[in-house]
């Protein structure tokens, strides 16, 4: 792909519109091939992809492993619970072990922010060409989820040409626990880059007002923002107000495991105010799609009836789209390695 210059994929703040286009275009081609019933492509035959998940996952790990296998790569899975971590081995020495086994790409998830970036930096410093793909780090970033959400929305708005252009000018509401969500942060970088205007909606304890300026400056360590004009971010506290004029809704999981204080006193109250249901969606301007990265707390951030309504809820579509998106990322990283 012309213009692709990323040796690692660590976040989406550093992505240009050309990068988003490249990933979406390639993913769309892979999806078309999968839909013909083709089980495997020979593209990455001989490559070794290692998945190093220091934090639990169902979707992301399985999806990356399936994506790698569909491109005929070999896959090595590291299981934190049965690994030498319990003997005191560090994430860096774990990563170096898989590099020594010949891994071309390390797909890394960690509960602490910036661990994948630090490992990528250490590998580069010691002369290794192994690429690092961030599969979620602390509250910071979940780039492949941000990309699959972008692709799912682009495909909904423009089925025949799911490009970043399809998102421009859309009003997309993100509801829930923004504070603890790396998915929300990746969504913000991706969707504003494509010109969407974002409404963030949630209680003050889970959505500080400062999020309105989240994309105003590149993150520390990044010299400039590759996007000339981003969409705007607004914070609203009322779901009814947020849903006025919405084109799409993304709901987020309440991340109880990351809440150090009891930030919510009453789950029932939260569900009454911010739970997305068929009823609350009537405040939107028509039938709008609802996304959720999963796993879902049924009956908390979304009703079970809505989760199971595939005519509105795109959760299964997101999971399905995750495979071609991750195929595209792996293909781009492996084939442009130098
Ligand atoms: N969306 C997501 O990251 O799900 P998993 O934690 O199951 O990978």
Residue among 114, 110, 107, 77 at smallest CA distance from 91: 110
Our mutation pick for probing the ligand 1 site, out of 51, 53, 58, counting the most ligand atoms within 8 A of Cβ, is: 58
Give residue 295 CA to ligand 1 midpoint distance, Å: 6
Give residue 2 CA to ligand 1 midpoint distance, Å: 30
Give residue 294 CA to ligand 1 midpoint distance, Å: 6
C-alpha span between 338 and 333 (Å, rounded): 10
Q: Please state which of the ranges 96-100, 253-257, 302-306 shows the lowest mean pLDDT.
A: 253-257
pLDDT for res 257: 72
| Side-by-side strand order, sheet with 248-251 | 233-236, 197-201, 171-175, 248-251, 290-291
pLDDT for res 259: 66
Domain ranges in the chain with CATH number 3.40.50.1370 = 17-141+319-335, 145-316
Is the pLDDT higher at 42 or at 255? 42
Q: Residue 285: is its pLDDT beyond 90?
A: no
Residue among 178, 170, 194, 307 at smallest CA distance from 255: 178
Q: Please state which of the ranges 101-105, 260-264, 302-306 shows the lowest mean pLDDT.
A: 260-264
Assign a CATH topology to domain 145-316: Rossmann fold (3.40.50)
Q: What is the pLDDT of residues 125-177, one digit of tens each?
A: 999 999 999 999 999 999 999 999 999 999 999 999 999 999 999 999 999 99
CATH number for the domain whose boundaries are 17-141+319-335: 3.40.50.1370
Cα 99 to the center of its chain, rounded Å: 25
Give residue 125 CA to ligand 1 midpoint distance, Å: 30
Q: Which atom of ligand 1 is nearest to the CA of 63?
A: 8
Output the ligand 1 site: residues, CB below 6 A.
57-60, 136, 145, 293-295
| Side-by-side strand order, sheet with 131-137 | 74-79, 48-53, 105-110, 131-137
Residue among 264, 280, 318, 269 at smallest CA distance from 296: 318
Beta bridge partners of 76: 50
pLDDT-derived band at 2, boundaries 50, 70, 90: low
pLDDT for res 215: 97
pLDDT-derived band at 1, boundaries 50, 70, 90: low
Beta bridge partners of 248: 172
Of all residues in the chain, the percent with pLDDT exceeding 70 is: 98
Residue among 9, 19, 92, 18 at smallest CA distance from 52: 92
pTM greater than the 0.85 cutoff: yes
């Amino acid at each position: 792909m012309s213009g692709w210059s990323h040796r690692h994929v660590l976040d989406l703040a550093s992505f240009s519109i050309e990068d988003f286009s490249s990933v979406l275009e390639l993913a769309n081609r892979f999806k078309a091939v999968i839909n013909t019933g083709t089980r495997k492509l020979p593209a990455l035959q001989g490559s070794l992809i290692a998945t190093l998940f220091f934090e639990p996952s169902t979707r992301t790990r399985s999806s990356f492993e399936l994506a790698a296998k569909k491109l005929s790569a070999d896959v090595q899975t590291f299981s934190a619970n049965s690994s030498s971590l319990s003997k005191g081995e560090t994430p860096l020495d774990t990563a170096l072990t898989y590099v020594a086994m010949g891994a071309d790409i390390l797909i890394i998830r960690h509960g602490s922010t910036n661990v994948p970036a630090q490992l990528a930096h250490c590998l580069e410093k010691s002369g290794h060409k192994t690429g690092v793909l961030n599969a979620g780090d602390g509250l910071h970033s979940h780039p492949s989820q941000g990309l699959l959400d972008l692709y799912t929305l682009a495909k909904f708005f423009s089925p025949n040409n799911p490009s970043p252009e399809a998102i421009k000018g859309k009003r997309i509401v993100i509801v829930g626990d923004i504070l603890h969500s790396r998915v929300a942060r990746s969504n913000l970088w991706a969707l504003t880059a494509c010109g969407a205007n974002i409404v963030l909606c949630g209680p003050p304890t889970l959505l500080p007002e400062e999020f309105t300026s989240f994309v105003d400056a590149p993150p520390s360590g990044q010299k400039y923002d590759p996007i000339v004009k981003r969409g705007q971010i607004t914070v609203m506290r009322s779901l009814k107000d947020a849903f006025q004029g919405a084109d799409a809704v993304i709901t987020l999981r309440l991340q109880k495991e990351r809440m150090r204080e009891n930030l919510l006193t009453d789950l029932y109250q939260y569900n009454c105010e911010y739970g997305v249901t068929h009823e609350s969606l009537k405040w939107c301007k028509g039938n709008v799609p609802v996304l959720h990265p999963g796993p879902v707390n049924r009956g908390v951030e979304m009703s079970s009836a809505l989760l199971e309504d595939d005519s509105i809820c795109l959760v299964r579509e997101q999971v399905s789209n995750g495979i071609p998106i991750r195929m595209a990322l792996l293909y781009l990283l492996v084939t442009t390695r130098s």
